[in-house]
Amino acid sequence: MAKTTDKQPRMRAAKILDRVFFERAYSHMALNEAFRKHPLEEVDARFITEVVYGTIKRLNTIDDVLGRVMKNPLRKTDRRVKTILRMSVYQLLFMDRVPERAAIHEGVELAKAWGRGGLKGFVNGVLRNVARQGLPDYPSITDPVKSIALSTSHPEWLVRKWVHAYGETETLAMCEANVKRAYTTLRVNRLQTDRSALQANLETDGVKTTPGTLASDSLIVTEGQAMHSERFEKGAFSFQDESSMLVTYALDPQPRMHVLDACAAPGGKAAHIAERMEDDGEVLANDIHAHKEALIAEQAERLGLESITTQTGDAVELAANVEAEAYDRVLVDAPCSGLGVLRAKPDIKWQTDPKEIETLRALQLNILEAAAQALKPGGILVYSTCTVMPEENEDVIAAFLKNNASFDLDDTLDERLGLKTERGQRLIFPQQYDSDGFFIAAMKKRGGRI
């Protein structure tokens, strides 16, 4: 086998994982940065992506396996060796196409190449013990929370919350979905093309797709790298999950309307709104971060959209920064824990502090209260998150409605989503449609006509 070097996939994967584990880098950003700096063959990029995401997704299970074969605690192990062991165990136990001998050999070679040659015997011994013992029988654990947590690789506190909210069966299904590979989903720019035409054009670029099932503007990539297609740069499509697209359907923007997107960065939903409005009207995209205002503007320019204007401001203070009752539609895609998008961003489940969720709930309610003041009587207010935590979803809506008697849940949301809702609210679990976990609520403000 070839000697491991900085240019080889396993070394690159190890360095990305090292940043995620010990520098709290975001996995998707670290991967994108690495691929931009050093472009790779598609087969190598796929391998690195699977090893990085897979190791993070299965982290607590991998650490439990290692803890069963190591004399000393894993936390006391050298940083680089810890990363090598984790990614090697992932390949041994969860990547069927990697032969056992290759996973062990490459782990040892990686230790030598990464300045830990003196520990190659230790790495070899640990990995051989893991290979002999295999994956423990976690489903047989009698404590359902611990069993689900280790068999599906989730923190126990999170599993416990979900079991309390949704029961063991739904929680197990959701956790199993979270460790599956995330699909790449495209949103068709309907101002430039339609779904069938884009699908045909992408195929000539070597990108195969299939129509999505949730959103009529969606295509699911089944083969190839859509990012490399010049049609992306020309604005024929954007990258967006199907569940996220449903937010704009819930909002139901129409041409010549005035729409406020209160928490707009990076601009995907604002762009989708403008596309659905046929770029006729006004979309005010607000975000608290000044540097993200440029991202929204860049996206609008790439897509050829002229109806989007941007501003920087704290959404909690929107009442002071936008005109009251001036907008036909208001969207609050609130900052949240992100615990519905664990397939694509698995590091979230390990980095989230459960105490932060209550803090987020207060912030979400404050933003919703402020943004609602900008809505015209008769208008539609949509609240959405990419989390499946009741505290950030149904609880926020209940508190808002209790404080704002002029708003009612919109029971016509079913018609716009094409899905059954609970009186204007819909929670989408990741296992239902192979999409992100998402919450969407639509409310109407009494009075007026639109």
Residue 286 lies in a domain: yes
Domain shared by 287 and 316, yes or no? yes
Residue 2 lies in a domain: no
Residue 282 lies in a domain: yes
Residue 3 lies in a domain: no
Residue 379 lies in a domain: yes
Is pLDDT of 236 > 80?
yes
At 378 the three-state DSSP class reads: strand
- Residue 7: what pLDDT? 58
Say how many domains are in the chain. Answer: 4
Identify residue 285 by its one-letter amino acid code. A
Domain shared by 226 and 262, yes or no? no
CATH number at residue 337: 3.40.50.150
Cis omega before residue 266 (within 30°)? yes
Domain shared by 226 and 87, yes or no? no
Residue 353 lies in a domain: yes
Domain of residue 194: give its range: 184-239
Helix H segments across 277-426? 290-303, 318-321, 347-351, 354-372, 394-403, 413-417
Domain shared by 235 and 253, yes or no? no
Distance between CA atoms of residues 173 and 156, nearest Å: 15
Identify residue 175 by its one-letter amino acid code. C
Distance between CA atoms of residues 133 and 121, nearest Å: 18
For 376, phi and psi rounded to 5 degrees? -70, 150
CATH number at residue 78: 1.10.940.10
Task: Please pick, among 207, 386, 440, 442, the residue that the annotation labels catalytic.
Answer: 386
Mean pLDDT value of segment 295-320:
95
First to last CA, the chain: 69
Report the DSSP beta bridge partners of residue 327: 375
pLDDT grade, residue 450 (50/70/90)? very low
CB 443 within 8 A of CB 377: no
Domain shared by 189 and 278, yes or no? no
Question: Is residue 386 annotated as a catalytic residue, yes or no?
Answer: yes
Identify residue 394 by its one-letter amino acid code. E
Domain shared by 285 and 420, yes or no? yes
| Strand-pair category, 425-428 with 438-445 | antiparallel
CB 79 within 8 A of CB 103: no
- Residues that constitute the known binding site for S-adenosyl-L-methionine: 263-269, 287, 314, 333
pLDDT grade, residue 39 (50/70/90)? confident
Distances (CA, A) of 350 to 27, 106, 158, 345, 389: 12, 27, 10, 10, 16
pLDDT tens string 319-346: 899 999 999 999 999 999 999 999 999 9
pLDDT grade, residue 267 (50/70/90)? very high
